[in-house]
Amino acid sequence: MEKIQKIKGFADLFPPDSGVFSFIEQTARDVFSRYGYRELRVPVLERTELFARSIGEETDVVQKEMYTFPDRKGRSLTLRPEATAGVMRALIEDKRTGEGLQKHFAYGPMFRYERPQKGRMRQFHQIDVEAVGSPDALLDAEILLMLDHYLRALGLDNLSIDLNSLGCRQCRPVFLDALREFLKGMHKEQLCEDCMRRKLTNPLRVLDCKVPQCKEFTADAPKITDHLCPECAAHFDVVKGALDAAGLRYVLNPRLVRGLDYYVRTTFEIVSGDIGAQSSVAGGGRYDGLVASLGGPDVPGVGFACGMERLALLINCDLSVAPDFFLAVLDAAGLSHGLQLAQELRRAGFSGEAPFAAKSVKSQMRAADKSGARFCLVLGTEELAAGTAVVKDMRAGGQETVGQDMLAAFLRARLEEAKDE
């Protein structure tokens, strides 16, 4: 019978990779909770209209990349390509958008039909952070400071922050008119096929194109920061001033537009110098007006997302956790007792493994060594009769015979000593 294999662009995560993802998630909980953010869980499947209205019908994500299909009643459903829209839908549906500042984070899988590559699969995972209910520029600054705090807590360096302002719905049309005028005379020998379409439907995205010829021919394009209205310019000045005061370095990038249509004003991206062409590890910005576009009240918001696969590429430390003990039972008659002893030790706070069948001493010592356990607890015929265990220190060497009723205290003392070494 033919084996069933995983779908292209989807991955299985075994240890130690799964441990890296757990570390990324736990660090997010630890850091974000210090800033008042609470965890939110939302579905991976939503109505297609949610993403068409939020992301933008002319974006590449909606046009080319979404996993969309009808359900049995003919309703169009989509596996989420990003998290913000689902979080906004949840806040609106639960009537939380009028309850002051809402600060939440979420994480989980997203889905886009893209070319699989290092650090980006068709099922990929994101850490998502959203703050809804405040237009204040200092919130933008704090969320960037929190993101920097989080990435440092993961042990990452060699990162840079690209920063821009996309203006608002009053001043952006002025810039778009100037950009359309600049792009009007360009033809297919200067722009890629996608950008020839974008210059008519979504000209802002031309600035974000990674094709070298497009970057070359649009190098002198108008800058959006030269077209900001006084209110947007003042907002951006406050953001930059707060980051300067905090000592957080950034690079102004007037070509940074992000790939989703809902962004306004502050926009940012965190770029790594260590993972090649796909260098963005996090990005986000302000999305005032998004909640209203989805049927909620007109409340402002700001947020970001981190790609977990790309973060994992940058985390080089060993995150594996070795068990405290490995129980070796040399007499088959003692297997049940060994299982009970291991359970008592686990309830006392230790981690470890117990056998389900009696094997040779050599085989069990080899298994104990492979497990990485600090101690191997040996139960032979004599130990079972005497109520003792031989405790072998797998790192320091040596062994001692200890009463089974004293094992927990003995292991705790030895592990505390090891911490002080």
Please give the pLDDT value at position 295.
Answer: 92
Please give the pLDDT value at position 205.
Answer: 76
Please give the pLDDT value at position 198.
Answer: 78
Strand partners for 378 = 328, 390
Tokens of 42: 């939302």
Q: Which bin fits 108, alpha (ψ -120 to 50), beta or left (φ > 0)?
A: left
Say which DSSP state 368 is in.
H
Please give the pLDDT value at position 259.
Answer: 61
**Alpha-carbon 297 to chain mean position:** 29
Please give the pLDDT value at position 260.
Answer: 65
Tokens of 255: 């070509």
Placement of tokens 């010592």 in the chain? 365
In order of 143, 251, 356, 359, the CA distances from 335 in angstroms are 55, 63, 7, 11
Please give the pLDDT value at position 269.
Answer: 94
Domains and CATH numbers, the chain: 17-171+228-314 (3.30.930.10), 325-413 (3.40.50.800)
pTM of the model: 0.87
Predicted confidence (pLDDT) per residue in 50-87, tens digit: 999 988 887 888 989 999 999 999 999 999 999 999 99
Say which DSSP state 64 is in.
I
Tokens of 387: 């109520």
Q: Which of 12, 11, 244, 262 is nearest to 145 (CA)?
A: 244
Q: Is the dihedral of CA 53, 310, 251, 201 positive or negative?
A: negative
Average pLDDT, the chain: 90
Helix axes 17-33, 137-153, angle to 10 degrees: 140
Q: Are 370 and 388 in contact (CB under 8 A)?
A: no
Predicted confidence (pLDDT) per residue in 271-309, tens digit: 987 776 668 899 999 999 899 999 999 999 999 999 999
Strand intervals (E) in 331-386: 352-353, 375-379
User: Which pairs from 5-11 meet CB under 8 Å and 24+ separation?
Assistant: 7/122, 8/116, 8/122, 9/113, 9/114, 9/116, 9/121, 9/122, 9/123, 10/121, 10/122, 10/123, 11/121, 11/123
Say which DSSP state 34 is in.
T
- Convert 4-19 to b/e letters by CB count within 10 Å (16 or more is b): eeeeebeeeeeeeeee
Low-confidence residues of the chain, pLDDT below 50?
Answer: none
Please give the pLDDT value at position 278.
Answer: 63
Reduce the DSSP state of residue 176 to 3 states and report it.
helix
Q: Are 261 and 202 in contact (CB under 8 A)?
A: yes
Placement of tokens 């502050």 in the chain? 266
